[in-house]
Amino acid sequence: MKKLLISFLLIIILALVAGGCSQQPPAQSQATYDVEFTLETSMGNVGMAFTGVGGEIDGVTNPDLVAQPGDIIRIVLVNGDGMPHDVAIDELGIKSAMITSKGDTTSVVFEATEAGQFSYYCTVAGHRQAGMEGTLVVSEP
């Protein structure tokens, strides 16, 4: 019985070692999405805001994020001010992780399954009221 147990354990160890030696895909595969938006949190003269980074939304305060039905969307949130922030779209059941330190990032990836206008905002108490709100616009081209 003891020999059988030792043989069994050796087979398991060899299988694990052999599996670890084979060519493996990258640990984090390339995410596929149709459209990406980067928003940086900021404190402006008129209050708190999301500021667009790159592309057509670069430098725009609380930009409209425009996509088409069926698009896979990635929203990247960059903490630009060192306060806690996240981004949520209640109507679509989307909520990112909270980021708390300047330079931290988080992202959400989801499919735009229906046309419409959906508010994105920071869920931290008072931040939405202070100006951290924009619109995701999903419409046909």
Domains recognised in the chain with CATH numbers: 35-138 (2.60.40.420)
Residue 69: what pLDDT? 97
Give the model's confidence band at 15: pLDDT under 50 very low, under 70 low, under 90 confident, else very high. low
Beta carbons within 10 angstroms of residue 62's beta carbon: 19
Average pLDDT over residues 4-28: 49
Q: What is the pLDDT of residues 32-79, one digit of tens each?
A: 899 999 999 998 777 899 999 999 999 999 999 999 999 999 999 999
Beta carbons within 10 angstroms of residue 11's beta carbon: 10
Residue 10: what pLDDT? 53
Q: Specify the pTM.
A: 0.77
| Secondary structure element (H or E) that encloses residue 6, with its range | helix 2-21
| Secondary structure element (H or E) that encloses residue 117, with its range | strand 116-121
Give the model's confidence band at 2: pLDDT under 50 very low, under 70 low, under 90 confident, else very high. low
Around 50, how many Cα atoms within 13 Å sit in the side-chain half-sphere? 31
Contacts 24+ apart (CB under 8 A), 52-56: 53/78
